[in-house]
Structures are given as C-alpha cells and as structure tokens.
Structure 1
Amino acid sequence: MVNTFKAPIPSLNMRLIILLLVLSFYQLSATSQTLKVSANKRYLVDAKGKPFFWMGDTAWELFHKLSDAEADHYLETRAKQGFTIIQAVIISEDSGLTKPDVYGHLPFTSLSPLKPNNAFFKHIDHVINKAASLGLHMAMLPTWADKVPSNRISKDSVIFNESNASAYGEFLARRYAKKPIIWVLGGDRAINDATTYNIWKAMAAGLKKGDNRQLITYHPAGESSSSRWFQNDKWIDFNTYQSGHAHHFMPVYKFAQADYKKKPVKPFLDAEPAYEDIPVEFWAFMKLDQQQSVPTAILTKDNLLADKSHFKKGFFTDYDVRVHAYWNLLSGACGYTYGHNAVWQMFKKGGSFVIPTLTDWNEALNSPGARQIKNLNKLFANRFYNLIPDTELLKGKNAADSTYIAAASNSKHTLAIVYMALGQSTVIDLKQLKSSLKAYWYDPRLGKKSYINTFKHASLQRFTPPTAGPGNDWVLLLESKL
C-alpha cells in the first residue's frame, strides 16, 4: 500500500514566526559569546556576567599554514586541553602578503587592503566557526605589525595608512560581527611616532564602526606593555604585555605590578611569555636579516634542529611556562597565554621556519607544557577573578630573582595562594587572613592536591614544600574552613 500522507505546509504567518524564532535564537547565541570587561575593570566576563578565564594559545600562523582539516584537529586538541583563547594573525609575519595560504590564496588583490580576496577569507571563516563550535574565542590580529611603519626589518611591504587601515578594520568587523572574537592590533612592535600611532588608532576606529561590541587590545614588542602608548585611549579595552624570550625567570610580575597600578583601571595579561622549546635569546644566535638565518649543518633533512648546542643559552621548558604563568596570575593578570615554538609557526617537516624547532607542530600539541594547562585551569578558573596581589602575606625578604615568591588572597581574606618557583621554604603571616585555614600543597606538574594541616589564623607559620630546587615548583593553597 502506498503511503499518500503529506505533512501540512505551514501557513505564511507560521513560517514567519518560525523564521523570527530561529533568527532570535541565533542572535542570542551569537551575543552570548561576546566578552565584556567586568564592572571592577579587572577581568573579562561573558554576556551573562560570568568571569571568563583567558587561557590562550599562541597560534600565529594558524590561518596561513594549516588546511581546514588540520585547523580542526588543532582546535579540537586545544579545546580538550582546556584552552579558551586562540591567538592567530590574518596577514602573517612570514611573508603573509606574498606567500599564499595552503589553498594558494593571498589576502588582497594587488597588495591593497581595500581589495580583500574573498577566497582567502573563506578559510578564515571556517576556522572561526569551528572555534566557536568548540566554545573557543579567537584573539585575532588583523595584520602583523610589519605591514605598518616600524623600526624593525620585514619580509613584506608596508601597505597600511590611516585611510585603508580604517576601511580594512571595518571590513573585518562587519564580516565577523557577533562572532566570538577579540581584536588584537599590533604584532610585536613598539609605537615609534605619530604616524604609526594614528594608523592603529584608525584601524581600531574601523573595527568599532563595524561591530562596537567586540573587545580590542594591542600586542606590543618584547618587554613592554600596550599601556605604554594606549592607556588613556578609549578604544583599547584591556592591556597586554609581552614579557618575551630573553632569559629564564623573567620578572613578569613587574609588568603586572605596573599595569595593576595604572589609571584608568583596565584588565591586563601576558600575551607572549617565553614559549616552550624556544631557544633562550634566540636572536643572539641567528642572522634574522638573512635568508639562511642559521647554518644548514645544524638542521636535519626535514629542517628540524639537530644540534641544540648552537643555541648556547639553552631552551625554555614546561618549567619556565609554569613559573611565568603562576607569577603572572598571582600578580593581578586576568589570564595567561601559553606558546610553543613549533606550534606558533605551525612548522611542518621540510617547511620553512622563523626560528628552528625541535619537532613539528602536530607532535608539539601534546608537549608537557600544553598538557599541564588543565592543572592551571583547575586551580585558577574559578578563583582568579577574586584574587588580589598580596605579598604582605610573606615574612622576610622577597628578592626579584628566581627566588621570588608570588602570593595573592581574595577580598574576604578567606583564601590565599602562594607560589614557590624553587620549592623554597617560606613563612606566611596567617594574621593577614581570617578564621582557621586548611592548608594544601598543589603540584602544578600533576594537578594533585595534598592536605597539610589546619592552622589558626592568628599565627606565623613556616611552610616547606615536599621537594626543592629547579623544576620543583609548588603551590600553597590556604582556604577557610567556613
């Protein structure tokens, strides 16, 4: 028997109602992904006002070097590891104007920001939508800063001026309106004159014109903060600094302490600390102004680094990542950005590099530092927004070197977190805190918490971590019994 039943066709009014409901749901869903600055101006929140923990990964070459499928794998991996922010550049530092993406597309026709290439941006559309589906926010640089006048060498032409920067910013913001995006101007550059300042200001104005709900910040050169130039500008919603790759135990807390005191108050974070597996002070052992920046003899046939001794100051490890993360977060930062030398470049075996790598990008996704991000999340994601830097808890000298101890407490003084980078013994003034406190050791390598004891608040108490020395960092967690 033939089934001749046909579903009734909705009336025109019903179809309009369904369409409006779908559009309303889409708008609500998109708007709910837009981040804002908290009422106290110290951190970021989602549309519902819930504190948002910035746990970033540096993926500068994501759009330039990876295919859709490769980008999907990268994003899925990072989402599972607990990252919330992906930092990527639309017009790459690595000859982004003249070297096509994996599909053979360039960003502009005739190198003109007024003539964006739709085929190029379709790949970026895919990556942004995939990230959004995984609950990730993209922190996107419209261009690396070498396309704007600066005092540093570039593989590309300077193509931006005030007029086309504004138009390009508006194009981007309109194309990606309501998407979970934070715009990051700059790209490893200082502001040297009024011309450069005005170009970035114009690009920010274009972004705000296109969609004034998306947050904007600026990524500066090493060992500096965006607050140096833009603290009083209304377009910049929060500051980032780059503590950089110069040496171990970089005093990142000094950047945080400086930005914490700035007025008007703005959230801030370290958007480029030392990357895992990057050579310490790499530029001292490379000829960055030459096509062949390192001797071919130190490389494998796949262009991987074979002779690590060429970089005489060694390499940053997961230990450096932890030290800088905890020092930053306990000094008032609203989040932290991780980076890996192979991942930021999306280096593929046999391909080109900016800085020699020890592995390819895919293998590096599961490096020790990346795996330990979940431990950072476990401790800070539900606590960071209540923390206030509080080194007054410490008794005795706190030197600005590898022995520095970072400490923070909450506003009610019922919680304190203290980080010992070398597992050093320290005395805590419990009188600064309220009520009896349960004390725990937290292992940042394994994410495990072990109970120490319960202490009365009106006392001085020495705490000695289970192990000590380089690589034996520990977190002391003090929580009220109430």
Structure 2
Amino acid sequence: MNTNLSALKIGENGRFLTYQNGEPFFWLGDTAWELIHRLSLADTRVYFQNRVDKGFTIIQTVILAELDGLTVPNANGDLPLKNLDPSQPNEAYFSHLDQVIALAKEMGLYLALLPTWGDKFNKKWGTGPEVFTPENAKAFGADLAKRYAKHQHLVWVLGGDRIPEDKEDEAIIEQMAQGIRAFDKNSLITYHPNGGIIASDIFGKSAWLQVDMFQSRHQKKFREYNFVNKAKSKRPVRPVINGEPGYENIPNLLNKWNFQRLDASDIRLSAYWSMLSGAAGYTYGSNEVWQMHSTNTIPLFGAHLSWQKALDLPGARQMKILRQVFESLPWQEMLTSRKIFSGINWPFTQKKMALTTADQSCILVYQPTGSKIKLSLNKAILKDASSYWINPHDGEVIAHEGKPSNTFKTPNRLQDWLLLILSSGQNEQWQYPRS
C-alpha cells in the first residue's frame, strides 16, 4: 500500500496525470458522494479497504453533501455549518473530515474533494438551500485551502452536478477557485458539471481549470468517446476525466419504473470507450454506493441493495482489470487510432476502438461484441508480433494462435474482448498484471 502520496501534476504532453516523479497516475475513481455525510469513520475504513482491494486510486466525495447535507447531521450527529452560514463552520463536522482525509492517505487513496454540491449555489433541483454568494464562496474556498493545503493527496472538484445559470453562479465558482488557489498552490482543480456537459465548455478560459471533466448520462451506450474527443479538441490542452458515468444498477435514463438497469457490461463499455478515446482516467459509480444506501436511508432511483453489498457488484471488480491492463502498457504514450481498422467501423454499431504507439509496437483494441476484428497492419509488424486476448470480465489472458494475419477471431462471440498486439521488444517487457 503506497502511503507516500505526492501531489499529482499534469504530464509533459498535457493529456495525462502523473506523480511528481513523472510516473503515470491512473485515475480510477469511485463515486462516494455521501461518504462524509453518512458514514462513520469505522464504516469509512471498511469502504476504503474494499476500494483499495479493487484497485481504485481516487475517491470522489463532497463536504457539503447533496442529500440534505446542510440540515441532516452526519453519522456523528454534527451539521457542517452553523446557521446555514459558510463563514461559520462547525468544528466537530470538520474534525471528522480531518480524520477521513488522514485515513485516505493512510490507506493510499487520493481524494477528489468537492467543497459543496451544486444545489448550495443553484437550486435548480434538490433540497438546497442556496447559501453561497461570490464573497462567502471565496472565503469558504480559502478556509478549506488553509486547513488542507498541507495534504498532497487531494484534488479539488468545483461544481457538483451543476452548470452556472447566471453571472452570480459563475462568480461563485470563480471566487471559490480563487480562494482555494490563494492558499493551495499544488493541488489540481477541476469542475464537475451535470450530464452531457464538459467542464471546459463553461470554464475553458479560466486558468484554474487544470483538468477537464464531463459527466455521462445514466444511459446505456452513451458513446462517451464523443465527449472525450470534444474535450481533446479544446485549447489549452488538458487531461480529460469521465468523472461521472452511468452507475451500475441504476435504471436506464433514470426511468421511474426501475427496469433495464445498467449492468457490468454497460460499465465496461463506458470505461473502455472513455479510456481508448484518450481519457486520462475513469470514475466508476454504483447506484447504492454513491448515496451510501442502508435501511436507515430513503432509496433513490430504485436503490435496493445496501451500500456494503453493492461494493462487490461485478462492474466494480472488473475496474481493477481495466487499471491492470493499462498500467502494463506504455498507455500515456499511446494515441487513439482509427486507421488500423480495415473496412467500415459503422457508427450505429457498438464501436470498436484502438490505442497504438506511434510505431505500432503496442496496439490495444476493444471489441464490444465478439466477432472478427479486421486490421490494416504492415505484414512485417504482424510477423514480429505476439498477440493476446484479454478477457475484461476476469482478466484471463489467452495467447492468439495461428499464422500472422490482419484478421483476428474473438474466442467467444457472446461478449466483449481486448486484443493486445506487441512487438518482440514490447512483448519481452510486458508484465501483466504489473507487479
């Protein structure tokens, strides 16, 4: 367990995140919005341990939480603010936050920390109340930074499922960012918008926005690559994170009948579409875990499992495989490639995607539905290469058999697969999973 967590920074090409020593950082996030609000420290340790065991690297959570976070006390019976006033923090509540932050470091986890959920400055929906002005937002951000700037394992996330609807909303965010940056010079800052929006669409000209983030809708086959591609086209260049995809076990499009829930296959499709289109990381989510649902809470969006049981849903387990595959490769040197496919990659099908190094010595293909994969590679590359199928369900590696060819037939047509092609030099270095 790595407890020597350095502040994250932007890599040299501007597209990815690294540790201070330049080693790649794989953002594998989990959505735990109600963690600080609803869990005791003992339960937080249980949750953190589960996520460490599953390979997660960063946890996204909120200080002033969405679900009546200002009026319903936390697990210790404490409210975050006195008199609903951001200038009057309740020390008991923030002492608990101190312990959560320290525990995350102890367990080797980064925290993507939202100062507030969006309904506290724009109550378009939710419970609110709206308590922020540009003036107290700046002071609140400054107070948080003064208290927590000493920690190297934090990323600040502004917004909270909202976009500004007027000049005051924009000013609240800008001032909160300035308050944080005045006293925390090292931690990265990003913005969490609502569904189908990219942070740089709103704050693309703001110097404080260092990492671009978008939210998928809770929808099957959302085509996350379109949003990654759009973000990658923006200037200045920023790393892109899918910060809230569709949650496992949530009803498709949040339908009120609670049918056609998103399952592990939807999670994998979203994750690999995001990563193979060039994202710097991916955040998983579970319907019951984000709200920390238990017998004592009102279920939202058809939640029916306890958060403890939902921790072990198949999609959560399979995120570790995603990380292991990427970390076994020079993934931050690889670029999305459409040219290696022969034939037509039909837009109305479940799109296959590929990453490749510039010299094609390392190629990773994701095939959403099992079938033949037809490539257009130089025969000299194929003759020198080793090829493997990786099962994204369980991580099993199967060596591809047969003569060098541009046609690869998946082992099983009824599921998704990863195809890895390595030159002899890359094959000698490949360690999967990386030790």
For Structure 1 versus Structure 2, the TM-score category normalised by the shorter chain is over 0.9
| 1:275-317 alpha-carbon deviations (Å, 9 max, x no partner) | 11011111x42xxxxxxxxxxxxxxxxxxxxxxxx324x1000
Which residue, out of 172, 180, 205, partners 1:199?
172
Q: Identify which range, 163-172 or 389-398, moves more after superposition.
A: 389-398
- The alignment status of 1:466 with 2:401, answered yes or no, reads no
Q: Residue 433 and residue 47 in structure 1: after superposition, are their counterparts in 2 closer, same or farther (change >3 A)?
A: farther
Task: Give secondary structure in 2 for the equivalent of 1:393.
Answer: coil
Equivalent residue letter for 1:225:
I
| 1:310-349 alpha-carbon deviations (Å, 9 max, x no partner) | 324x100011111111111000001110011010000012
Q: Residues 330 and 387 of structure 1 are in contact (CA less than 8 Å); yes or no, is this contact kept in structure 2?
A: no
Q: Residues 438 and 455 of structure 1 are in contact (CA less than 8 Å); yes or no, is this contact kept in structure 2?
A: no
Q: Residue 346 and residue 432 in structure 1: after superposition, are their counterparts in 2 closer, same or farther (change >3 A)?
A: farther
For this pair of structures, how many residues does the alignment match? 420
Which residue, out of 382, 396, 410, partners 2:343?
396
Partner Cα separation in structure 1 for residue 271 and residue 142 of structure 2: 34
Instruction: Give the TM-score normalised by the residue count of structure 2.
Output: 0.93
Q: Which residue of 2 aligns with 1:408?
A: 355
Gaps of 5+ in 1: 1-28, 286-309
| 1:100-145 alpha-carbon deviations (Å, 9 max, x no partner) | 1011111111111111111001111111111101110000100001
Q: Residues 251 and 401 of structure 1 are in contact (CA less than 8 Å); yes or no, is this contact kept in structure 2?
A: no
Partner Cα separation in structure 1 for residue 185 and residue 402 of structure 2: 50
Partner Cα separation in structure 2 for residue 433 and residue 73 of structure 1: 51
Q: Residue 390 and residue 66 in structure 1: after superposition, are their counterparts in 2 closer, same or farther (change >3 A)?
A: same
Q: Which residue of 2 aligns with 1:452?
A: 400
- The alignment status of 1:260 with 2:232, answered yes or no, reads yes
| 1:72-109 alpha-carbon deviations (Å, 9 max, x no partner) | 11001101110000000111110111111011111111
Equivalent residue letter for 1:353:
P
Q: Which residue of 2 aligns with 1:75?
A: 48
Deviation at 1:353, TM superposition (A): 2.7
Partner Cα separation in structure 2 for residue 92 and residue 197 of structure 1: 20
| 1:235-256 alpha-carbon deviations (Å, 9 max, x no partner) | 01110100120x3111000001
| 1:203-244 alpha-carbon deviations (Å, 9 max, x no partner) | 000110121100000001101110111122110111010012
Q: Which residue of 2 aligns with 1:479?
A: 422
Q: Residue 146 and residue 447 in structure 1: after superposition, are their counterparts in 2 closer, same or farther (change >3 A)?
A: same
Q: Residues 437 and 455 of structure 1 are in contact (CA less than 8 Å); yes or no, is this contact kept in structure 2?
A: no
Q: Identify which range, 186-195 or 113-122, moves more after superposition.
A: 186-195
- The alignment status of 1:111 with 2:56, answered yes or no, reads no
Alignment of 1:38-77 (within 5 A): 38-77=11-50
Deviation at 1:455, TM superposition (A): 6.4
Alignment of 1:247-396 (within 5 A): 247-282=219-254, 284-285=255-256, 310-312=257-259, 314-383=260-329, 384-396=331-343
Q: Which residue of 2 aligns with 1:185?
A: 158
Partner Cα separation in structure 1 for residue 150 and residue 74 of structure 2: 25
Partner Cα separation in structure 1 for residue 141 and residue 385 of structure 2: 51
Deviation at 1:385, TM superposition (A): 1.2
Partner Cα separation in structure 1 for residue 380 and residue 84 of structure 2: 60
Task: Give secondary structure in 1 for the equivalent of 2:170.
Answer: helix
Q: Residue 172 and residue 402 in structure 1: after superposition, are their counterparts in 2 closer, same or farther (change >3 A)?
A: farther
* Structure with greater Cα Rg: 1
Deviation at 1:149, TM superposition (A): 2.5
Partner Cα separation in structure 2 for residue 413 and residue 271 of structure 1: 30
Partner Cα separation in structure 2 for residue 189 and residue 452 of structure 1: 47
Deviation at 1:432, TM superposition (A): 9.6
Deviation at 1:382, TM superposition (A): 3.9
Q: Residues 437 and 454 of structure 1 are in contact (CA less than 8 Å); yes or no, is this contact kept in structure 2?
A: no
| 1:397-448 alpha-carbon deviations (Å, 9 max, x no partner) | 2223442111110233211111111113221111299472211111000101
Equivalent residue letter for 2:113:
M
Q: Residues 87 and 136 of structure 2 are in contact (CA less than 8 Å); yes or no, is this contact kept in structure 1?
A: yes
Partner Cα separation in structure 2 for residue 432 and residue 60 of structure 1: 50
Deviation at 1:49, TM superposition (A): 1.3
Task: Give secondary structure in 1 for the equivalent of 2:252.
Answer: coil
RMSD over aligned CA atoms reads 1.6
Q: Which residue of 1 aligns with 2:144?
A: 172
Deviation at 1:39, TM superposition (A): 1.2
Q: Residues 372 and 445 of structure 1 are in contact (CA less than 8 Å); yes or no, is this contact kept in structure 2?
A: yes
Gaps of 5+ in 2: 426-435
Equivalent residue letter for 1:113:
P
Q: Residue 402 and residue 62 in structure 1: after superposition, are their counterparts in 2 closer, same or farther (change >3 A)?
A: farther
Q: Identify which range, 446-455 or 247-256, moves more after superposition.
A: 446-455
Partner Cα separation in structure 2 for residue 135 and residue 412 of structure 1: 35
Q: Which residue of 1 aligns with 2:70?
A: 97
Q: Which residue of 2 aligns with 1:422?
A: 369
Q: Which residue of 1 aligns with 2:433?
A: none
Equivalent residue letter for 2:102:
N
Q: Residues 191 and 199 of structure 2 are in contact (CA less than 8 Å); yes or no, is this contact kept in structure 1?
A: yes
Partner Cα separation in structure 2 for residue 149 and residue 325 of structure 1: 30
Q: Residue 433 and residue 442 in structure 1: after superposition, are their counterparts in 2 closer, same or farther (change >3 A)?
A: farther
Equivalent residue letter for 1:385:
Q
Q: Residues 98 and 156 of structure 1 are in contact (CA less than 8 Å); yes or no, is this contact kept in structure 2?
A: no
Partner Cα separation in structure 2 for residue 40 and residue 157 of structure 1: 41
Partner Cα separation in structure 2 for residue 250 and residue 200 of structure 1: 28
Partner Cα separation in structure 2 for residue 86 and residue 36 of structure 1: 17
Task: Give secondary structure in 1 for the equivalent of 2:116.
Answer: coil
Deviation at 1:481, TM superposition (A): 1.0
Q: Which residue of 2 aligns with 1:125?
A: 98
Q: Residues 361 and 423 of structure 2 are in contact (CA less than 8 Å); yes or no, is this contact kept in structure 1?
A: yes
Partner Cα separation in structure 2 for residue 433 and residue 141 of structure 1: 51
Q: Residue 400 and residue 193 in structure 1: after superposition, are their counterparts in 2 closer, same or farther (change >3 A)?
A: farther
